[in-house]
Amino acid sequence: MSWTGKQRNILDFTLSSLLRRKGRNAALVFVYTFVVFLLASVVFLAQSIKEEAKEVLREAPEIVVQRLVAGRHDLIPETYIGKIRGIPGVQSVKPRLWGYYYEPLNGANYTVIADENYPYEKGTVVIGNGVARHLPPLVGKTMPMRTYGGSYLFMRIRETLSSESELVSSDLILLSVDDFRKLFRIPEGVGTDLVLTVRNPREVATVAGKIVEILPDTRPITRSEVLRTYDAVFDWRGGMIFANLIGALFAFVIFAWDKATGLSAEERREIGILKGLGWETSDVILMKFWEGVVVSLSSFFLGVILAYVHVFFASATLFESALKGWSVLYPAFRLKPVITPYLVSVLFFLTVVPYTFATIVPSWRAATTDPDAVMRA
């Protein structure tokens, strides 16, 4: 008999043997698929957010300059602009005005930005789609905002930003510079921070160094640091996510080991009969190998496909409560699908290899069982 013919015969036998113990094996495939699904969902989600950040934030300011007072971020005087403009290589410097507004009606936090090119009249706002979704229905087209002086500004909503841009604009409220200063009682002559453009991108680090030299109470943040932030903060190989996943993975390895070592009486009898009929130890190991291949491959494919659907078609619904935390406002984002041969191979090695290792020794033990002892038991 040819080599392939032998493999096919053993595979046929393995499959019919697996089907005889449907319930037990279905439970294993279900748990295995769930572990792969969980891991793949996290990897897809993290990778997609990283890619999204890389694509979108490449238009972020080249340098943001913050002022720190006693280790905390503070308002920056506009007199700093002149000093920074004097640094060779600096093309433009302008202040940004932005802050956070807590809406007591629904408990949401908004990011309020004064747009220097705000296209509408004073007393109006442009809101992000997430803000629009969470506005109490009674408010209608006017949004009352409590100023830091205690009075109210009744801002008319002129426009809602598109739902497609929610990943950057969901919680934004845009208004005029005058309305912003009125709302937060921020005097003229100071800004939240400064944004710079630099003539030669290769000089960004030098300019950032000079800013700290001239103005020691400031902290420059460059665009590459912003981009690196998203590369690092969503690294699935670190942090609590990884700690939780490792726990799940180990629990699964223990489960697989337990399943493989705890051979049922029926399985023992089966191996005994096979060996009695003339099967070699290597044939039984081969049968166990095919058993592993069937279980691993089926669970791996199902897990990866389901994870893709979960993250990119269902917006990672199962993770929503974990990602949302205590936030009231959570963007309804549609992420850029990311699936690469590298990611699929990483998932394969993270899930199939531990299972194979966990079942290899028990399989060998089963294969070396003495047929006489088993059939007598």
Partner 1 sequence: MTLRRESTAFFLFVALCLAFLLLLFAHASWREKADLGIYGEKREIVKALGLTDLCLFTEARYTRHPAVADRFTPFQDHPMSLEHFPSASILLPPPHLSAP
Residues 106 to 145: which contact partner 1 by CB under 8 A? Answer: 108-111, 113, 115, 117, 128, 130
- Candidates 21, 133, 268, 336: give the one binding partner 1 (CB under 8 A): 336
How far does Cα 211 stand from its chain's mean position? 34
Verify binding: residue 16, partner 1, rule CB under 8 A.
Answer: yes
Who contacts 338 (Cβ-Cβ below 8 Å, separation ≥6)? 44, 47, 48, 51
**325 part of the interface to partner 1, by CB under 8 A:** yes
The closest alpha carbon to 66, from 240, 192, 243, 241, belongs to 192
- Residue 230 lies near partner 1 (rule: CB under 8 A): yes
188 to 207, contacts with partner 1 by CB under 8 A?
193, 195
Instruction: Choose which of 21, 96, 133, 146 interacts with partner 1 (CB under 8 A).
Output: 96
In terms of Cα–Cα distance, which of 95, 59, 87, 97 is closest to 204?
A: 87
Which position among 19, 138, 265, 377 is part of the footprint of partner 1 (CB under 8 A)?
Answer: 19
Task: Pick from 30, 100, 250, 349 the residue near partner 1 by CB under 8 A.
Answer: 100
Shortest spacing between CB 108 and partner 1, in angstroms: 7
Residue 268 makes CB contacts below 8 A (sequence gap 6+) with: 366, 369, 374, 377
Residue 64 φ then ψ, to 5°: -110, 130
Question: Residue 215 interacts with partner 1 (CB under 8 A)?
Answer: no
Query: Could you say which of 161, 186, 287, 367 contacts partner 1 (CB under 8 A)?
Result: 161
Which residue in 121, 159, 164, 266 binds partner 1 (CB under 8 A)?
164
* Residue 370: CB minimum distance to partner 1, A: 29
Answer for which of 28, 39, 174, 286 binds partner 1 (CB under 8 A) is 174
The residue among 208 and 263 lying less far from partner 1, judged by its C-beta, is 208
CB of 368 to partner 1, least distance (A): 26
Kindly give, in sequence order, each residue whose CB lies less than 8 Å from that of residue 248, ignoring residues fewer than 6 positions away: 35, 38, 39
Q: In this structure, are residues 334 and 313 in contact, taking their beta carbons and an 8 Å threshold?
A: no
Decide: is 362 part of the binding site for partner 1 (CB under 8 A).
no
When the beta carbons of 176 and 369 are compared against partner 1, the nearer one is 176
Q: How many CB atoms lie within 10 A of CB 370?
A: 10
Q: Tell me the residue length of the chain.
A: 377
Cα 36 from Cα 18, distance rounded (Å): 21
Residues 38-67 that bind partner 1 (CB under 8 A): 49, 52-53, 55-61, 64, 66
Q: Any idea what DSSP says for residue 187?
A: P
Cβ atoms of 81 and 193 within 8 Å: the answer is no
Nearer to partner 1, 11 or 375 (CB): 11
Residue whose CB is less far from partner 1, 282 or 321:
321
99 DSSP β-pair partners:
112
Based on CB atoms, which residue is closest to partner 1, 261 or 298?
298
Is the CB of 11 or the CB of 285 nearer to partner 1?
Answer: 11
Q: Nearer to partner 1 by C-beta: 52 or 369? A: 52
Separation between Cα atoms, residue 114 and residue 119, nearest integer Å: 11
Binding segment for partner 1 (CB under 8 A), chosen from 23-31, 266-274, 329-337, 352-360, is 329-337
Residue 128 corresponds to which amino acid? Answer: G
With tokens 């897809």, the residue in question is: 44
**Nearest distance, CB of residue 77 and partner 1, angstroms:** 18
Of 56 and 346, which has the nearer Cβ to partner 1? 56
Distance separating alpha carbons of residues 377 and 368, to the nearest angstrom: 16
> Residue 220's beta-bridge partner residues?
65
- 279: Cβ–Cβ under 8 A, 6 or more apart, which residues? none
- Report if residue 239 touches partner 1, rule: CB under 8 A: yes
- Non-local CB neighbours of 252 within 8 Å, separated by 6+ positions: 31, 32, 35, 354, 355
- CB of residue 177 vs partner 1: minimum separation in angstroms? 13
Compare residues 79 and 117 and give the one whose CB is closer to partner 1. Answer: 117
